[in-house]
Amino acid sequence: MYICRDMNNLYFKDLYEKSNNDIIVQLGQRFRDYRIALRLTQKEIAAQSGVSVMTIVRFERGEGSSIRLDNFIALMRAIEKLEGISEAIPYMPASLYDAPQKEYKGKHRVRKRKNEK
């Protein structure tokens, strides 16, 4: 089971146990909630994003099992949540092995050879 780093977002806890379709349905519901909170109609979102009204309707209802990535990005842009796309695949943290040696202060670990005691 995935352990959530942010305890305020407990719904991530079982994210890996959900099917892809379940996740798409949940995203569609969240999108609808943001759209309504912004007081935008599906027609207005369609005009802003270039995504058809029927695609928006199907996404919000959880109908169908997929949404094209370019449409999803356009919808995120329309509700001003594009930063969420960047969070989907975070930047890879720098590895300690890639860091220059001069950054390490103190003793370095040294392995003994097999014949040394």
pLDDT one-digit tens code per residue, 38-90: 999 999 999 999 999 999 999 999 987 789 999 999 999 999 999 988 888 87
Q: Name the residue range of residue 37's domain.
A: 10-103
> Would you tell me the crossing angle of helices 53-61 and 42-49 to the nearest 10 degrees?
120
Instruction: Find all residues with CB under 8 Å of 4, minimum gap 6, and list them.
Output: 10, 12, 13
* pTM listed for this prediction: 0.68
Q: Is 113 a domain residue? A: no
Q: Is 4 a domain residue? A: no
How is residue 59 written in tokens? 């996404």
The CATH number covering residue 29 comes to 1.10.260.40
Q: Is 112 a domain residue? A: no
Q: Is 5 a domain residue? A: no
> In 3D, which of 52, 86, 66, 57 has the Cα closest to residue 24?
66
- Structural domains counted in the chain: 1
